[in-house]
Structure 1
């Protein structure tokens, strides 16, 4: 019955957006088992490391200091995983906000004709359960990993700074 009454296009409904994000490639990584998720992040780090190493090798100083070359290259190659994590967090946070909202903001024609539709009680209850029990743990996990990676970058940068000065 709600499908006939609901004016929100199907692809803009929060539950459908949630299902869509669960099926996307990079954004769905946090849904994997933790060991597979971490494997993908480490792979993204290892994938970019040779590129970072090649760029860093262009420095005359770093060519002659292998330890500094390795530390700087490995630290700068952490920027790809941190960008992936931030992108994932932003997508999941967007879905979290949409699921928690009492109203659905949507566009009918795509010409920025924003409309607002109040969710029925049963939709709201279902959306809140999904937001709190499925999306919120993902956000917490991503926030923790982002903090760890940023801390690693910060510690590495402090270490590099102290070595040079």
Structure 2
């Protein structure tokens, strides 16, 4: 049964917040946030490992690995973390955008181009459905990203302390 308030929605299908959420949830990078903690951390470690491809030569140019192994490892690890930080920022911005679109009682949309934007006030049942999705699906993802960012910041601080002790 199709809800009449949703079927009368003037927002194009690809701009409806629920459809944007469903697309984001299955897209390549964003779906990793919905995995179990173990799988999610594994994906983050893969991003960090792949970032070593760029970070290792830069660290080796600064600190010869056979002479300054600890500095090379810390510099490379810190440099490789940039890839993870950029990934986390992209994930956070994408999920926050969808959260805001779902949570908002009024949706801005474009009918045929950038020059003819309109707004649509969500009916109460659509607003309640969207806010439930935010509460039970998106907030845990955003919290996971925040926890990951805090852990990464902690590791960078620990690396800085170790660097100064060398």
The reply to whether TM is greater than 0.5 is: yes
Is it true that 1:35 corresponds to 2:34 in the alignment? Answer: no
Structure 1 unaligned regions, length at least 5:
none
Which of 67, 72, 75 aligns to 1:69? It is 72
- Return 5+ residue gaps in structure 2 as ranges: none
TM-score normalized with structure 2 length = 0.90
Q: Is residue 6–residue 126 contact of structure 2 (8 Å, CA) maintained in 1?
A: no
Does the CA-based 8 Å contact 1:89-1:139 persist in structure 2? yes
Instruction: Show the counterpart of 2:127.
Output: 124
* Contact preservation (8 Å) 2:32, 2:40: yes
1:145 corresponds to: 148
- CA distance in 2 between counterparts of 1:153 and 1:113 reads 46
Question: What is the CA–CA distance in structure 2 between the aligned matches of 1:77 and 1:71, rounded to whole Å?
Answer: 10
Structure 1 position 3, deviation (Å):
4.4
- Give the Cα–Cα distance (whole angstroms) in 2 for the partners of residues 146 and 119 of structure 1: 33
> RMSD of the TM alignment (CA)?
1.5
User: Which residue of 24, 27, 34 maps to 2:27?
Assistant: 24
Structure 2 counterparts to residues 78-97 of structure 1, below 5 A: 78-97=81-100
Does residue 101 of the first structure (1) align with residue 104 of the second (2)? yes
| TM-score of the pair, normalised by structure 1 | 0.91
| Structure 2 Cα separation of the partners of residues 91 and 103 of structure 1 | 19
SS in 2 for 1:77: helix
1:112/1:29 CA distance change after superposition, 3 Å: farther
What is the CA–CA distance in structure 1 between the aligned matches of 2:128 and 2:15, rounded to whole Å? 18
Structure 2 CA distance, aligned partners of 1:53 and 1:116? 49
Q: Is 2:18 aligned against 1:15? A: yes
Question: What's the offset of the Cα at 1:155?
Answer: 3.0
CA contact (8 A) 2:17 2:102 kept: yes
